[in-house]
Structure 1
């Protein structure tokens, strides 16, 4: 009898230990199970000059990115204003440090890797399947002294003002543990920085704001154009960064 009771207690303790680790949460309204269905994308770090062949198989789940981005820059269109959470970083900024991974959402049923390598002269590009997603990232190789970081950026051209806005949607430091990067795909009131940009307020629904591609679609085509969304990856030696997209209900 004592063995049976001990066995039951052991199972309860194990469940209490295991189950919380399967859930990543930004807020009570954004919980999800890491064991649930998802799209997996592997960012494989390679040394500069690794291979300049084009990689455009849309069914791939991998991208080849710089293992060291210290010599890489992301060119920005000018004239511009670069804004970070209500603070103007600068005017006519020509570049950001790091490597760009552009993301689009064409309305297709499946994810597609449009450009899978950094070394063909063009940025990497991923087309997201329709819907909204919770997103997590983690380093899945030997950790390095300086962890990689990822920033989400929105590009919007103001037709009347004749300039580009670059809005920072957040930063994630990528570690061995899963980090929630969902924020990088949502724009909120502070990030739209209406006092500086004059952009419409996306609100702060569910503590997240508005899905960035929905926000692009909501803007008046007579006033705004040339939308783009990209990640600014700053890598310091990581050979494998894994990204997972979990569909929201």
Structure 2
């Protein structure tokens, strides 16, 4: 039987299905464009002078349900283990202090600054970890990338400056920033944790407009502590200065922290 290769006109059934397919393809293309544009907007939202896709140090805080064995002290590491649920955790404060309390909720992550980035104590599942920043000043971004099932996956981080007043024989704990991060597709600007503004400065050490420091942020926290350490007045003689994070986790399994150098 000869084969008829002539094209048959497309009937209404075929035309309808073809139209639906085209609509689906166009919808998928539109959704893809929205995702691309959303990503572009997220990048463009980065502070002026910061290349969000440029060089940075990445620290991964990995949530664990149980206490990890060992200390994981390795300067080359980019990871630190933290509890996925810190509701039963607290750490001791020096007393007497201006907060009139002996403990603080969550786990403590000590922050210092040195010649390079380094994870000094990578195991905070025992209640305390330590991290060293490299030299310079940074803008800092945080994102929760994963959470445990049936948990909010929220993370709250408070930055604290600790100082002892030799004149008043009192320990001071100064909150210099609070950031709450939830599971989503955007990065939260957490730079306020590392800068002290005139409102947060309990000692009235900062002078002039905040515009004299990092615009909109204030003084780099480690510069602030160095200044306080050398500053003596009739009211204060401060020593033993330190900076740490009060870290509280409600189910997040992976928290990423990015440090971008400020030019």
Q: TM-score range by the shorter chain?
A: 0.7 to 0.9
Alpha carbons 1:23, 1:31 under 8 Å: kept: no
Give the equivalent residue in structure 2 for 1:112: 118
What is the RMSD computed on CA atoms of the aligned residues?
2.3
Match of 2:60 in 1: 42
* Cα distance change on mapping 1:98 and 1:17 into 2, 3 Å: closer
Q: Say whether 1:53 aligns with 2:61.
A: no
Q: Does 1:22 align with 2:43?
A: yes
Please give the secondary structure, in 2, of the residue aligned with 1:80.
coil
Distance 1:22 1:165, change over 3 A: same
Give the 5 Å matches for 1:1-249: 17-25=38-46, 32-49=50-67, 51-82=68-99, 92-106=100-114, 108=115, 110-119=116-125, 121=126, 123-142=128-147, 144-145=151-152, 147-175=154-182, 176=184, 177-193=186-202, 198-201=203-206, 204=210, 205=213, 206-221=215-230, 223-249=237-263
Unaligned runs of 5+ in 1: 1-9, 83-91
Instruction: Tell me, yes or no, if the aligned pair for 1:58 and 1:114 is still in contact at 8 Å.
Output: yes
- TM-score, normalised on structure 1? 0.80
In the TM superposition, what whole-angstrom CA distance separates every residue of 1:122-164 from its partner, at most 9, and x where no partner exists? 6211111000000000001137325111111111111111111
- Give the Å deviation of 1:93: 1.1
Q: Does the CA-based 8 Å contact 2:162-2:171 persist in structure 1?
A: yes
Give the aligned length.
Answer: 219
8 A Cα contact 1:187 1:202, kept in partner: no
Query: Which of these two proteins has the greater Rg computed from alpha carbons?
Result: 2
CA drift of 1:247 comes to: 0.4
State the TM-score, normalizing by the size of structure 2: 0.76
CA deviation after TM superposition for structure 1 residue 170, in Å: 1.5
SS at match of 2:50: strand
Q: Render the CA deviation track for 1:61-97: whole Å, top value 9, x for unaligned.
A: 0000111001110211111113xxxxxxxxx211111
SS in 2 for 1:135: strand
Q: Separation in 2 of the partners of 1:147 and 1:17?
A: 23
Q: Secondary structure at the match of 2:130?
A: strand
